[in-house]
């Protein structure tokens, strides 16, 4: 269990050299096999930007959103000069971000930290911003996650997490229920990693 509030600046500095998430690469692989070219991506709570950098390397235009100026500075410093014109950094809490029409929304471990009162409207806005065939992918925390002790962290049962994806084609729903290193300590981890595709107009998908 976390013993103190999370120091996000320190966390993101420590994480700046990590590889991009496998769930993101898997989602991008599905889009590539489908023949969908790089488009507009939104990285919610981008941190130091390992995942934004992966998207830039693959030719995407990236809106990277984070409430920490230190994190965005790390991202901009790490971006290759030739990709800087495709990187748009937004210094704000992502739940207040006006999500543009996009092909991919990525939220690596950031959705649980949305302000609870803002969550229902934000989620609806995010899904609506996806173009047909676009994906939304990221993580939700389960009810046994240690970070639930932080107070305003959103926790979901598996049924609640699956219900959020109603109307989308679920391509991944990974369940992690155990312990893992996090923030320099062993943390009780309970999370759902998901990726879901917005159907084309007029097509109704059945979710689990």
User: Which 3 state secondary structure label does DSSP give 176?
Assistant: strand
**Is 2 inside a domain boundary?**
no
Sign (positive or negative) of CA dihedral 206, 99, 85, 194:
negative
**Is 1 inside a domain boundary?**
no
**Is 97 inside a domain boundary?**
yes
- Give the ranges where 35-98 is alpha helix by DSSP (H): 50-57, 69-78
**Is 92 inside a domain boundary?**
yes
Residue 113: predicted pLDDT: 96
Count of domains forming the chain: 1
| Domain at 173, CATH number | 3.40.50.150
Residue 3: predicted pLDDT: 44
**CA 181 to chain centroid:** 20
Residue 9: predicted pLDDT: 55
User: Which residue range(s) make up the domain with 41?
Assistant: 8-197
Distances from the Cα of 124 to the Cα of 40, 188, 202, 208, angstroms: 19, 29, 19, 20
Residue 10: predicted pLDDT: 56
* Model pTM score: 0.89
**Is 202 inside a domain boundary?**
no
**Is 38 inside a domain boundary?**
yes
**Is 35 inside a domain boundary?**
yes
Distances from the Cα of 163 to the Cα of 26, 75, 103, 175, 206, angstroms: 22, 33, 22, 15, 11
Token pair 């993580």 in the structure block, residue: 139
**Is 145 inside a domain boundary?**
yes
Q: Over its length of 208 residues, how does the chain's per-residue pLDDT go in tens digits? A: 344 555 555 555 555 567 899 999 999 999 999 999 999 999 999 999 999 999 999 999 999 999 999 999 999 999 999 998 999 999 999 999 999 999 999 999 999 999 999 999 999 999 999 999 999 999 999 999 999 887 789 999 999 999 999 999 999 999 999 999 987 889 999 999 999 999 986 444 343 3
Backbone angles phi, psi at 137, to 5 degrees: -145, 150
């Amino acid at each position: 269990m976390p013993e103190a509030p999370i120091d996000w600046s320190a966390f993101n500095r420590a994480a700046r050299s990590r590889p991009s998430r496998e769930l993101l690469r898997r989602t991008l692989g599905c889009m590539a096999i489908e023949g969908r070219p790089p488009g507009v991506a939104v990285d919610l709570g981008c941190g130091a930007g390992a995942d934004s950098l992966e998207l830039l390397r693959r030719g995407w235009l990236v809106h990277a959103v984070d409430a920490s100026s230190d994190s965005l500075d790390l991202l901009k410093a790490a971006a290759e000069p030739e990709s800087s014109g495709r990187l748009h950094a937004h210094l704000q809490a992502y739940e207040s971000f006006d999500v543009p029409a996009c092909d991919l929304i990525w939220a690596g471990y950031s959705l649980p930290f949305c302000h609870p009162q803002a969550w229902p409207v934000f989620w609806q806005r995010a899904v609506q911003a996806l173009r047909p065939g676009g994906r939304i992918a990221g993580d939700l925390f389960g009810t046994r996650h240690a970070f639930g002790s932080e107070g305003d962290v959103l926790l979901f049962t598996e049924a609640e997490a699956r219900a959020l994806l109603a109307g989308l084609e679920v391509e991944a729903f990974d369940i992690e229920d155990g312990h893992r290193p996090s923030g320099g300590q062993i943390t009780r981890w309970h999370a759902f990693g998901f990726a879901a595709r917005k159907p084309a107009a007029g097509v109704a998908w059945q979710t689990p």
